[in-house]
Amino acid sequence: MRTLLKKPIIIFWIILVLSSILLLSTIGLKFGVDFSGGTAFQVILEKPVATDELSQAASILGRRLDWSGSKDARVTPSGNQYISIQIAESDPAEIASLKSALLQQGNFEAVLDGNILFSGDDIRTIYKDPSRGYGITEITKGVDYQWALPFLLSPDAAKRFAEMTFHKCTPTGFAGDTSDDAYDCEKTYFFIDRPKDAIILIDKITYLDEKEVPLIPGIYSSSFPIEDLFDQLNVPYYIVDNNLTDNELASLTSDFNSYSKIILSPNISSEIKSKLDEIGFRQINILKQENVPWIWDATGLKSVISITSGIANMDVSTMESSRFKTFSELHVTGRADSYESSQARLDDLLLVLESGSLPIAIESISTESISPYLGKDFLKTSLLIGIFALLTVALVLFIRYRYFSLAAPILLTGTTEILILLGLLSLMHFRLDLAAVAGILATIGTGVDDNIIIIDELLRGHKKEDREHHESLLKKVKKAFFIMFAAAATSAATMFPIIFFSLGLGKLVGFAVTILLGTAIGIFVVRPVYAQIAQRMISKDHK
Amino acid sequence: MKFFTQKNYSKLLIIPIILLLIFLVLIFIYPSIEKGIDLKGGNQIIVHYPDQKDFSNLEFALKNNYDLTEVQINEVKSLSEYGLLIEFSLQNDLEIAKAARSKLNFDLDLATLQLEVSSILAPLVTADLLTTNEVSFVNLVKNKEDLKLSLNEALILTNNNFYAKITTLVTTELNLGSDAKIQTREIAPTLGKDFVNASVKVGIVAFVLLTLVILLFFRELVPSGLILFAVIFDVFAALAGMAIFNISLSLTTIPALLMLIGYSVDTDILLSTRVLKDVSKNPINSANSSIATGLTMTITTMSTIIVMLVISYLSQMLVIFEISIILLCGLVGDVMSTWFFNAPALIKYAIKKNHKN
């Protein structure tokens, strides 16, 4: 036993097993749609595109489905015209609406004082060209960065912009030594899909929580009153208690003539909901997401941008539009304390301004969905199969060899093989699906086959009738490994093409990956370990 | 006990050859193998529920309300649960609309095209698969390119609406709650076609690599050819099993076939190594000594697969159930191909080779 523990391969094996247990208990296993429930969309684009265009399309589709990133949509581009999206949602009605969301371009609007300043259609070009000012400039390394996004408006929109923003700044004190006078300017609000046919109903708790709306969600920033945001919407809103007052009820009933939908904040009581049902409203429940104020999600607010004094024509004193400076080319700029957060803000805004228009048309969308209840069943069944498979292997081996000290290590090494494989998969953040489970079961199978080869090679010649086969143990182990290597190489030969050619065959990839990893762990670690143990057992027995 | 003797071994060869012919008939002539919906495109809904339900109305409702050309409803029962497997084709009006779209001539001027697109979409609105709002784009688009894109999207949307309606119909007809155990699949025919192409490519490359690997390890043409033949035989055995049990070729059954290659090649490599590498020994003895090892391997694997088969049957896990059947048939085939074909042929080859030396 002690000599066994000195072998490098055994030490390496023990380290692998321990670190796998550590990985599994810290990172843990992740499950795909098959087990956790959810939906997988497979989008095919009209024609093959370049890699960067494909990943651009993928991020746009991801946003269409899930602007705030709250639904945990996982978007993976594959090949050159496929995008697969997985999302933890399996309700048929919800899937249908997600699927139409995939097809729809968001409706971008920049709003000032409740009026549209310019919309997605008004944007002629977005310059992604550093010579026009696009990008990030470092002002003070490590603390201060400025980002800028230049774009061109259509002439009509530019004129409207100039008129609407005219003198929207008021001079304030503390001019100081800067060349610009100090101004307090109004804000423009950038929306995607600003509610137009829906009333907003916000409960007191949420209202008090979000009375002051942050300018940039998720980080510390200055804020503005929630009423400013309501002013941009042109739809009625109500701040309600646990129940509706008679006045509110009457007013809502009359609103129903012009608005069919109602957006509800998270704490709206069921009494209110049943009353709204009676009136006939279609209710849209919007949940509160972490790091994003509820009101941002509910109204589709994506960004708040202040007007600058230069653009507001503060130096022109009359209202005569002929004297305005009209700016067709506008820059949205901002400051952030790191390069990464500048980049993130810039990317976000770019996506908003492009309002998620795809660079290429969608050919078709396929969906597969599994309810979480069924997924749980699948997981239970898979575990059951795994356990019973190991027990069956043990039984068969015991019947065949009647030799506990040879059969028991097969179970031990077999179990560690799965453990190491699972550890590796959790390190890779691999999501286990049914195909991967099939791959793991296959690994158990080949593992046991290999161990049988080792035992039989070693035992050959120990029986009296074939003394002629008597060879050294080492030579026998070598022969066993020749067989195992050949078998492993054939497995690899059939699995590699799946990984390389499986454009849209995401499912098969999981299968191939688990088999390849399992085979490698088996042939390079677990089998040598078993061979060591078995050699020891047999030479002890025959001394 | 000696399985192979001087007299019998070459006679065994006839069995696998006859079997192979039978397999070919089963696979290609009758009952033959169908492509699953993930390879040909189509719609599938699987529901599970604890108590027996009367679903006779469902088929009627589906056919009547939605003008479906093809509906198949199969009940699946296990000890603890009931289930329905519903497969249906695309909606008729949508099929017609799709055909009309591919015939559209985009050289015409925008106004004419707008009229044509309106007439393509009108039946879909009548069939309640699109709202008037969803077709309003026709008169709003500014150019042909936009019209083409929006038409494409409208057709995807139609399919989407159609599918949502069917699933709602199924859940309401069967009285399933929000915690229903339901699995839906909707595969676009284009995706299916791409899957088939990719699978064929994978199959060809895998076979070439497999041949190279085996040649590399054995460096002798005949034994390598025999191993490859045995592998092909096993795959055909599994395919024949699929034909008999009415399992279609799909993205879940293709991995099973590949898995089988890995399993079946083990015993053949074992046999070839023992017969060829022990040059000093009688090939018949070497083959006989391999049988015990090889059968232990196969029996162990088979018993785990039977466990899979039983558990997946009881819990209605269709995917694993199908994989188990395929592997089981393939492994039965493997016993035939290894011990009735590869072994006798290899003994013949080894004896001839020994004579030459």
What pLDDT digit, counting tens, does each position of A122-170 carry? 888 888 888 888 888 888 887 888 888 888 888 888 888 888 887 777 7
Average pLDDT value for residue range B84-97? 83
Range with lowest mean pLDDT among A27-31, A214-218, A395-399, B265-269: A214-218
| Contact check, Cβ <8 Å, B304/A441 | yes
Average pLDDT value for residue range B257-284? 86
B6 found inside a domain: no
A526-539 pLDDT tens trace: 999 999 998 888 77
| Contact check, Cβ <8 Å, A367/B185 | yes
Average pLDDT value for residue range A473-488? 89
pLDDT for B13 equals 86
Average pLDDT value for residue range B211-237? 93
| Contact check, Cβ <8 Å, A374/B281 | no
- Chain B residue with the nearest C-alpha to that of A446: B263
Does B48 lie in the same domain as B145? yes
Does B225 lie in the same domain as B179? no
B1 found inside a domain: no
* pLDDT tier at A182, thresholds 50, 70, 90: low
Q: Provide the residue range defining the domain that includes B168.
A: 42-187
pLDDT for A68 equals 60
**A-proximal residues of B, 193-252, CB under 8 Å:** 194-195, 198-199, 201-202, 205-206, 209-210, 212-214, 216-218, 251-252
Highest mean pLDDT among A185-189, A192-196, A496-500, B233-237: B233-237
Check CB contact of B181 with chain A, cutoff 8 Å: yes
Average pLDDT value for residue range A396-415? 85
All CATH 1.20.1640.10 domain ranges of chain A, comma separated, are 2-32+371-541
* Residue of B80, B317, B334, B338 best to disrupt the A interface, most CBs of A under 10 A: B317
Average pLDDT value for residue range A469-485? 82
Average pLDDT value for residue range B200-216? 91
* pLDDT tier at B97, thresholds 50, 70, 90: confident
Q: Give A-chain residues touching B277 at CB under 8 angstroms.
A: 479, 482
List the single residue in A42, A392, A508 with the smallest CB-CB distance to B303: A392
- Chain A residue with the nearest C-alpha to that of B41: A366
All CATH 3.30.70.3400 domain ranges of chain A, comma separated, are 38-105+365-369
What is the percentage of chain A residues whose pLDDT exceeds 70? 89
Range with lowest mean pLDDT among A214-218, B1-5, B13-17, B143-147: B1-5
Check CB contact of B293 with chain A, cutoff 8 Å: yes
B2 found inside a domain: no
Q: Give A-chain residues touching B164 at CB under 8 angstroms.
A: 92-93, 95-96
B78 found inside a domain: yes
pLDDT for B319 equals 83
- At residue B224, does pLDDT exceed 50? yes
Check CB contact of B183 with chain A, cutoff 8 Å: yes
List the single residue in A91, A366, A392 with the smallest CB-CB distance to B304: A392
* pLDDT tier at B93, thresholds 50, 70, 90: confident
User: CATH number of the domain that B348 lies in?
Assistant: 1.20.1640.10
All CATH 3.40.50 domain ranges of chain A, comma separated, are 195-297
Q: Give B-chain residues touching A511 at CB under 8 angstroms.
A: 255, 258-259
- At residue B146, does pLDDT exceed 90? no
SS3 string, chain B, reads CCCCCCCCCCHHHHHHHHHHHHHHHHHHHCCCCCECHHHHCEEEEEEEECCCCCCHHHHHHHHHHHCECCEEEEEEECCCCEEEEEEECCEHHHHHHHHHHHHCCCCCCHHHHHHHHHHHHHHHHHCCCCCCHHHCHHHHCCCHHHHHHHHHHHHHHHHHHHHHHHHHHHHHHCCCCCCCEEEEEEECHHHHHHHHHHHHHHHHHHHHHHHHHHHHHHCCHHHHHHHHHHHHHHHHHHHHHHHHCCCCECCCHHHHHHHHHHHHHHHHHHHHHHHHHCCCCCHHHHHHHHHHHHHHHHHHHHHHHHHHHHHHHHCCCHHHHHHHHHHHHHHHHHHHHHHHHHHHHHHHHHHHHHHHC
Does B149 lie in the same domain as B208? no
B52 found inside a domain: yes
* pLDDT tier at A173, thresholds 50, 70, 90: low
Does B170 lie in the same domain as B197? no
pLDDT averaged over chain B? Answer: 86
Q: Give A-chain residues touching B199 at CB under 8 angstroms.
A: 505
pLDDT averaged over chain A? Answer: 83
Average pLDDT value for residue range B287-296? 90
Structurally, what CATH architecture does the domain formed by A2-32+371-541 represent? Up-down Bundle (1.20)
Region A195-297: CATH code: 3.40.50
Check CB contact of B254 with chain A, cutoff 8 Å: yes
Does B213 lie in the same domain as B177? no
CA distance B297 to chain A (A): 5
- At residue A503, does pLDDT exceed 60? no
Q: How many contacts, defined by CB atoms under 8 Å, are there between A and B?
A: 260
Region A38-105+365-369: CATH code: 3.30.70.3400
Average pLDDT value for residue range B5-32? 88
List the single residue in A95, A396, A493 with the smallest CB-CB distance to B303: A396
pLDDT for A179 equals 46
Average pLDDT value for residue range A323-347? 79
Does B201 lie in the same domain as B94? no
Range with lowest mean pLDDT among A358-367, A488-497, A511-520, B199-208: A358-367
Angle, helix A473-501 to helix B189-218, in steps of 10 degrees: 150
pLDDT for A19 equals 96
pLDDT for A471 equals 64
pLDDT for A316 equals 61
10 Å CB burial of residue B142 (0-12, 13-18, 19+) is exposed
Does B345 lie in the same domain as B202? yes
* pLDDT tier at A177, thresholds 50, 70, 90: very low
Does B312 lie in the same domain as B222? yes
A407-463 pLDDT tens trace: 888 888 989 999 999 999 999 988 888 888 888 888 888 888 898 899 888 887 665
Average pLDDT value for residue range B44-66? 83
A246/A169: higher pLDDT: A246
| Contact check, Cβ <8 Å, A442/B156 | no
Quote the CA–CA distance of A106 and A356 in Å, as a whole number: 6
Does B91 lie in the same domain as B108? yes
Pick the last residue of a domain from B167, B187, B207: B187
pLDDT for A506 equals 67
CA distance B147 to chain A (A): 12
